[in-house]
Structure 1
Amino acid sequence: MSKQEKPAEQPSALQRAALLVEKMQARLDAVERARTEPIAVIGLGCRFPGGAVDGSSYWKILRDGVDALREVPESRWDVPGHFDSTRGVPGKMYGTRGGFLDDVEHFDAEFFGISPREAASLDPQQRLVLEVAWEALENAGLAPDQLAGSKTGVFMGVMSSDYMARLLKENDATRFDGYMATGNGYSFVPGRVSYVLGLQGPCMPVDTACSSSLVALHLASESLRAGESNLALAGGVNLILSPETMICLCSMQALASDGRCKTFDASADGYVRGEGCGVLVLKRLSDAQRDGDSILALIRGSAVNHDGASGGLTVPNGPSQQAVVQRALDNARIAPALVGYIEAHGTGTPLGDPIELRALGAVLGKGRPADRPFFIGSVKTNIGHLEPAAGIAGVIKTILSLQHKEIPPHLHFRTPNPHVEWDRIPARVPVERVPWPAHEGRRIAGVSSFGLSGINAHVVLEEAPASTAPTAVAEEDKAQLVVLSAKTPRALSSLAEAWSSFLKNEEGGSLADISYTSALSRTPHEHRLALAAKSKQELIEQLEAFAAGKSHAGLSSGRRGTGLGQKIVFVFPGQGSQWLGMGQRLYAENVTFREAIDWCHEAISRYTDWSLRDLLTNPGQQPRWNDIDVIQPTLFALQVALAAVWRWLGLEPHAVVGHSMGEVAAAHVAGALSLEDAARIICERSKLLRRVSGQGAMAVVDLSREQAEVEIRGAEDRIAIAVSNGPRSTVLSGDPAALKEVLERLERREVFCRWVKVDVASHSPQMDPLRQDLLDRMAAIRPTGSAVPLYSTVTGAPIDGRELSAPYWVRNLRQPVLFADAVQRLIQDGNVLFIELSPHPILVPFVDAMLREGDTSGRGLVVPSLIRDQEEWPSLLSSVGALFTRVIAWTGSGYIPTSVAGLRFLRTRGSASGTGWSCQQLRRRAGSCALAREVIPS
């Protein structure tokens, strides 16, 4: 150290201590943020009484004040044999109404890879949870099959297995096998979801009686906050399949005598049982916002406690209820006076309702203005008490209320319960639909569930924050591609019907966002449907047409091939596909296309005295439109720009092939030529061709190349084989008079012949005088190895891009175009998906014919990019759709997920009689099933 340098000052002990305290405080703050971070609800699925199969149909039931309770279905048990209207008769039930689901005996076992034999022993609650969990994930914009190996937790409330009780009644020990154990154990309800989807987060059943699903939601939220899960499924399920529990509850006088749940009313005399399933998809709020998820609501906080030693094991404890609500609010950092709605446990019992209302009043009345009561209701008045699934039914109701900013009516409330001090509790029961006003800019709600065993739970919800996701980049009137898929044709038709119904009845997101959701938020299955539509109305018409077995413009359907990958070939044709106005709309509408054209404009302008941009945007004002030295560079530019669009759509070529002048664009797209070199070649080549314009002719003949060679023998100095497009499609080129003689001779033998509308005899002896000029003008090009395999139509085989120097382009102009040879080689090499990049298809028929002859997979397909005089973007999307139906994945781009109808399962009934659920009958049918889908036992 020099004398001038001073030693660095060391921090004092006090400074070091302050720094340490600052670091510790930062860590504590981070821990606190994680501990209290809101949980985002990003998806939901449900099946509830009244035909509620999703959030939309559930909300309709709630909004319209529907009482969805009904008589016990005859298929469940012998109702008359178990009924007695007199209360207290041993072994009998006095109530025969409940909230029942339809179709619980049907299941799409094949979809989940479950054999008919195993399905026979599978508790329908497991089946229901599988389906609803899948639907919830799709609703969240997540493809379920993409979650394998993820830290996704599954927490599911379940408290009984009536199905097991039915099986045990058969009293046949020979049928008690491993399937019965795995099909009916509570742990397998969430466990099977984790197994089928390959989830590796925590997985647990929750049985706290009537609070099970709300406790499951609490545990899932805590798992996310602790970092043990990055995504969670939480919910509950309940099915009423045997009479024993009903009989027990009737013996306890717990059920309403008239089959109606009259929560908070003076006539309340018990509840009505209900069944259903609800599943929520949860994420930490920060993760959901980072990932651009659609957030339905926030879980601000929750709490769980027990009554402890109280008035009785099953007697509600007011102070404990008060404590759990207060703790949940404390955990949520929410002042009680901000709560605007409570979804009450509200079983409609004379004892329970007053206790719950007093507890809520004690907590939520703190600091609350007298003119701002909280609303209170219970979904049990609509669908009954779903027991372990009751909490999740209430949570989903509340989420929907938050989304719609209104509170649905609470049913059967006519005379307030006289045991409640209504004048001392700041609560209002909404008997009709009411707006939900925000307080301090927020809408906050609480949901309660109290288990019969004394386990209480409360969850605090808040309206979702305003979305920060970008709006769709596409205009609403621009065509979009919507893709659907299912495991069978019938399931696909059912899905199309579901989407059609949803779109007719729901506002939903933009067409662009619907396209995105269909592409990225759904698992692609074997049977596929693609729809290129410009509006929701057109999309609905296409869906209805497909469901009815009819065709419609923009509609493609098919079955995905196997073992093909995405080996796509870009095909670049020669001259002949042009039409006035080509590319004009696409240039105006598509940024990728426009940018590529602009790059080509700059490259071409060095060799031309006309404007590519002007020609495309104002085609009617271009007097040289048909000149060969104008149209060929223009077609080249369109081909390059179309390749850029296809790549922007996510479709990369596995190989490229060009036809005559199309080889220039093919070589550039393959990476063998720079844009500058490619522009030089196409411009100089076309200028030389203009020099001989008017001197030649070309014609197509229905002959093989070998047959055509025989026909022109002796005239090779004037006529040549110009093109071999297929096994029986050859183009002749040369002197017009000599060519006319050949055609007249062929026509007399009834051989098909047709003149081509050109006056230049490419690939004929007329090109020989241009050879040296072309070599000189191409001398400066510097080809490189291609990044994409390039198949030459000069040689009919793959070629190294470094061979594309000046001599190659002389051969390209003079020698025959061996297009058929090149395509046949491509097919032999396993390439069976072709896209023609041109303003109108001219090679599609030839490729299609060769695919039908040489593609042994039967999955070959060739599609155009654009079609003459048709709207360009819809035409292109229709081709994307056609490719999707065969093999490719469609990824969408630039939009945000939105809510649409989920996959529809193909459930098949297994019960032989339709009234009984005999395991023996089910297995007998499963064993004789020839087709896996034919009989799916229940």
Structure 2
Amino acid sequence: MTPSGDGRAGGDDAIAVVGLACRLPGAPTPAAFWELLRAGGHAVREVPAERLGTTAPDDEQDTRPSRYGAFLDQEQIEGFDAAFFGISPREAALMDPQQRLALELGWEALEDAGLPPARLAGQRSGVFVGVIADDYAALSARLGADALGPHSMTGLHRSMIANRVSYVLGLRGPSMTVDTGQSSSLVSVHLACESLRTGESTVALAGGVNLNLLPETTDRVARFGALSPDGRCHTFDARANGYVRGEGGAVVVLKRLSRAVADGDTVHCLLLGSAVNNDGGGESLTAPLRAAQEDVLRLAHQRAGTDPADVQYVELHGTGTKVGDPVEAAALGAAVGTAREAGDPLMVGSVKTNMGHLEGAAGITGLLKVVLSLRHRLLPASLNYETPNPDIPLDELNLSVQRTTGPWPAADRPLLAGVSSFGMGGTNCHVVAAEWTGAHETAAPGSDTAPFGHAPVTCWPLSGRDRAGLRGQAARLAAFAAGHTDLSLPDVGWSLGTGRAALDHRAVVLAGERDAAVEALRAVAEGVPSAGVVSGVVSGEPGRVVFVFPGQGSQWVGMGAGL
């Protein structure tokens, strides 16, 4: 990894990823997403009946390309705790579920970063969300004017997907919904990084959401010829015949590296540089252009101050289409693959083989895969690859598909990766990411060793908007604690006390060892009394001043009356 003259690579211009959140098919959290990737799993299934379109006559339903997809469960879309975000049920019903999803992901990503939203209120914190779908607006239009209400305008306008997050969390930095086609969410990350570098934002949330609610939308993609008839994405394979649609979303929390280190944040990885351009021509409006893709790759490395020869893995746009794959491979080989020594190929893969194409949220899904791969120092397999595409000379381009889950090619060196995302209209984006090799600051809330041989008692504070929310928090923490035998109780208590919002319904678990903490948490989750739990509700009454006399020195009746 070669720093540039301005010291950008790993220097003060590097952007740290300090928080993660996702809601993906079969993977509601980053941890679950990583387990699916590591195991070589996928989330593609037959489209639920309520989302099945009309591409073919009834007697041909079983062979339609629109028959497959990677979908969230309906509860993940319909279930929304409106009161938690201070939104009325009537307003929530008129909101695009993508707004609701962005709110949830933003909150969860900040929690993962140890940043209670209240701490950011009023600050220059930016929100950048990639979105291209507006299925809910189309569904609403079908109901006619009688179904409109005072919240329809704000509920259906796509700009509000980012603006809603900024409003609810009180964030005063830039707030924008980005639509550059399928590259939207990675372009959002690029814009967030630039906003941080210029000082326009001090913290940024960046990502994308995509929900496929309207059957006709899938039919439109099918008629365009982009969908795989067999419901699989065969990236760089001879069988490449299109992609399968996916949905969900992800958000990352970003800071400048210098600030993240000063704040003692957990740094998941670094974003060293990125670039965006457009094909600006080509054979057709939607045909990819090799020269433009080469250019965006080279420009990203130039801005990152990195040598393309040092890259060990690139997460492809990788749609598995007959036209797109050969162009992407040729551009990547020219700009990065052949910069390496012959016989030492660049490893490549595509998360679309696991999750389908999340379209407006595709780029952030690929970036999340790379962040987790860097963090765990393991490369997941790219699925559905058996025979090289005859139009992709992998050896000549010095590329190789990552076919199995395994270590990085040069794990003894700092890990360096790239992420590509290309829009249908030619807006291309590439991000250069690297592992964080610096030391993590470790807060020291207490010691696991107590005097006189007694186990220390640790406090684990929990809170929720209501009693159900508090119980849910306790249940999730109990499951986490039960599955991690190496937990430091004081460290968990410190994180809960300093990195979580303090909501009205509260409980404090007191325990000296993990099993006791798990037992107490389960009691909170079940709503039963426990000797290791103190619970209550914050009073809505304003606090009153009291005077306490410690009992030392001269005292007399009425001595505080004058005060």
- Distance in 1 between the 2:8 and 2:319 partners? 36
1:130 to 103, 119, 126: 103
Task: Please report how far the alpha carbon of residue 471 of structure 1 lies from its aligned counterpart in structure 2 after TM superposition.
Answer: 5.2
**Preserved CA contact (<8 Å) 1:86 1:94:** no
Q: What RMSD, in angstroms, separates the aligned Cα atoms of the two structures?
A: 2.5
Gapped runs of 5+ residues in structure 2?
450-455
3-state SS in 1 of match to 2:158: coil
Deviations 1:475-518 (A, max 9, x none): 33533211110011111111111112223345786322211111
- Distance in 1 between the 2:478 and 2:355 partners? 27
- Distance in 1 between the 2:498 and 2:35 partners? 28
- Distance in 2 between the 1:509 and 1:294 partners? 16
1:896 aligns to what? Answer: none
3-state SS in 1 of match to 2:206: strand
**Preserved CA contact (<8 Å) 1:34 1:225:** no
Deviations 1:614-661 (A, max 9, x none): xxxxxxxxxxxxxxxxxxxxxxxxxxxxxxxxxxxxxxxx53234xxx
2:560 to 792, 798, 823: 798
How many residues were matched structurally? 551
Task: Please report how far the alpha carbon of residue 73 of structure 1 lies from its aligned counterpart in structure 2 after TM superposition.
Answer: 2.3
Deviations 1:299-342 (A, max 9, x none): 10000000111111111111111111111011101111111111
1:510 aligns with 2:510: no
1:467 aligns to what? Answer: 439
3-state SS in 1 of match to 2:385: coil
Give the letter aligned to residue 96 of structure 1: R
1:108 aligns to what? Answer: 81
2:465 aligns to what? Answer: 487
Shift in CA distance, 397/414, structure 1 to aligned 2, threshold 3 Å: same
Shift in CA distance, 508/397, structure 1 to aligned 2, threshold 3 Å: farther
2:388 aligns to what? Answer: 416
- Distance in 1 between the 2:125 and 2:13 partners? 18
1:455 aligns to what? Answer: 427
- Distance in 2 between the 1:328 and 1:507 partners? 42
1:155 aligns to what? Answer: 128
Shift in CA distance, 561/377, structure 1 to aligned 2, threshold 3 Å: same
Shift in CA distance, 515/161, structure 1 to aligned 2, threshold 3 Å: same
Task: Please report how far the alpha carbon of residue 124 of structure 1 lies from its aligned counterpart in structure 2 after TM superposition.
Answer: 0.1
2:502 aligns to what? Answer: 524
**Preserved CA contact (<8 Å) 1:93 1:247:** no
1:164 aligns to what? Answer: 137
1:45 aligns with 2:17: no
- Distance in 2 between the 1:81 and 1:248 partners? 10
Gapped runs of 5+ residues in structure 1?
1-28, 568-653, 668-782, 784-791, 802-938
Deviations 1:448-485 (A, max 9, x none): 00000100000000112323414535333533211110
**Preserved CA contact (<8 Å) 1:36 1:332:** no
- Distance in 2 between the 1:370 and 1:796 partners? 91
Task: Please report how far the alpha carbon of residue 174 of structure 1 lies from its aligned counterpart in structure 2 after TM superposition.
Answer: 3.0
Shift in CA distance, 507/362, structure 1 to aligned 2, threshold 3 Å: farther
Task: Please report how far the alpha carbon of residue 247 of structure 1 lies from its aligned counterpart in structure 2 after TM superposition.
Answer: 0.9
3-state SS in 2 of match to 1:657: coil
1:71 aligns with 2:46: yes
1:550 aligns to what? Answer: 528
**Preserved CA contact (<8 Å) 2:185 2:206:** yes
- Distance in 2 between the 1:274 and 1:48 partners? 9
- Distance in 2 between the 1:119 and 1:227 partners? 34
Give the letter aligned to residue 105 of structure 2: V
**Preserved CA contact (<8 Å) 1:329 1:335:** yes
2:31 to 56, 70, 90: 56
**Preserved CA contact (<8 Å) 1:485 1:524:** yes
Task: Please report how far the alpha carbon of residue 405 of structure 1 lies from its aligned counterpart in structure 2 after TM superposition.
Answer: 0.4
1:657 aligns to what? Answer: 549
Shift in CA distance, 428/397, structure 1 to aligned 2, threshold 3 Å: same
- Distance in 2 between the 1:509 and 1:800 partners? 52
Deviations 1:319-371 (A, max 9, x none): 11111111101110111111111111000112211211121111113442335
Select the structure with the greater relative contact order (CA < 8 A; seq sep ≥ 6): 2
Deviations 1:361-393 (A, max 9, x none): 111134423353222111111111000100000
Shift in CA distance, 339/530, structure 1 to aligned 2, threshold 3 Å: same
- Distance in 1 between the 2:177 and 2:150 partners? 20
- Distance in 2 between the 1:249 and 1:115 partners? 35
Task: Please report how far the alpha carbon of residue 138 of structure 1 lies from its aligned counterpart in structure 2 after TM superposition.
Answer: 0.7
1:446 aligns with 2:418: yes
**Preserved CA contact (<8 Å) 1:85 1:94:** no
Task: Please report how far the alpha carbon of residue 238 of structure 1 lies from its aligned counterpart in structure 2 after TM superposition.
Answer: 0.2
- Distance in 1 between the 2:97 and 2:40 partners? 29
**Preserved CA contact (<8 Å) 1:159 1:207:** yes
Q: Which range is displaced more, 433-442 or 399-408?
A: 433-442
- Distance in 2 between the 1:797 and 1:82 partners? 87
2:346 aligns to what? Answer: 374
Task: Please report how far the alpha carbon of residue 36 of structure 1 lies from its aligned counterpart in structure 2 after TM superposition.
Answer: 7.0
Give the letter aligned to residue 336 of structure 1: P
3-state SS in 1 of match to 2:21: strand
Alignment of 1:64-103 (within 5 A): 64-74=39-49, 76-77=50-51, 79=52, 83-84=56-57, 94-102=65-73, 103=75
- Distance in 1 between the 2:443 and 2:125 partners? 29
2:115 aligns to what? Answer: 142
Task: Please report how far the alpha carbon of residue 800 of structure 1 lies from its aligned counterpart in structure 2 after TM superposition.
Answer: 8.1
3-state SS in 1 of match to 2:200: coil
Deviations 1:271-321 (A, max 9, x none): 011001111111111111111111111110000000111111111111111
Identity of aligned residues (%): 45
Give the letter aligned to residue 657 of structure 1: F
Shift in CA distance, 418/54, structure 1 to aligned 2, threshold 3 Å: same
3-state SS in 2 of match to 1:314: coil
Task: Please report how far the alpha carbon of residue 54 of structure 1 lies from its aligned counterpart in structure 2 after TM superposition.
Answer: 1.6
3-state SS in 2 of match to 1:235: strand
**Preserved CA contact (<8 Å) 1:132 1:279:** yes
Shift in CA distance, 198/508, structure 1 to aligned 2, threshold 3 Å: farther
Give the letter aligned to residue 474 of structure 1: G
Shift in CA distance, 799/475, structure 1 to aligned 2, threshold 3 Å: same
Alignment of 1:114-513 (within 5 A): 114-170=87-143, 172-438=144-410, 441-470=413-442, 472=444, 474-476=446-448, 478-506=456-484, 510-513=488-491
Q: Which range is displaced more, 142-151 or 469-478?
A: 469-478
Q: Which range is displaced more, 149-158 or 112-121?
A: 112-121
Give the letter aligned to residue 19 of structure 2: G
3-state SS in 2 of match to 1:798: coil
Task: Please report how far the alpha carbon of residue 557 of structure 1 lies from its aligned counterpart in structure 2 after TM superposition.
Answer: 1.7
Deviations 1:403-454 (A, max 9, x none): 1000111111112212110221222222221012546731111000000010
Shift in CA distance, 474/31, structure 1 to aligned 2, threshold 3 Å: closer
Shift in CA distance, 296/340, structure 1 to aligned 2, threshold 3 Å: same
Shift in CA distance, 45/375, structure 1 to aligned 2, threshold 3 Å: same
2:512 to 529, 534, 539: 534
Deviations 1:880-919 (A, max 9, x none): xxxxxxxxxxxxxxxxxxxxxxxxxxxxxxxxxxxxxxxx
- Distance in 2 between the 1:529 and 1:473 partners? 20
- Distance in 1 between the 2:472 and 2:344 partners? 47
3-state SS in 1 of match to 2:548: strand
Could you state the TM-score of these two structures normalised by the residue count of structure 2?
0.92
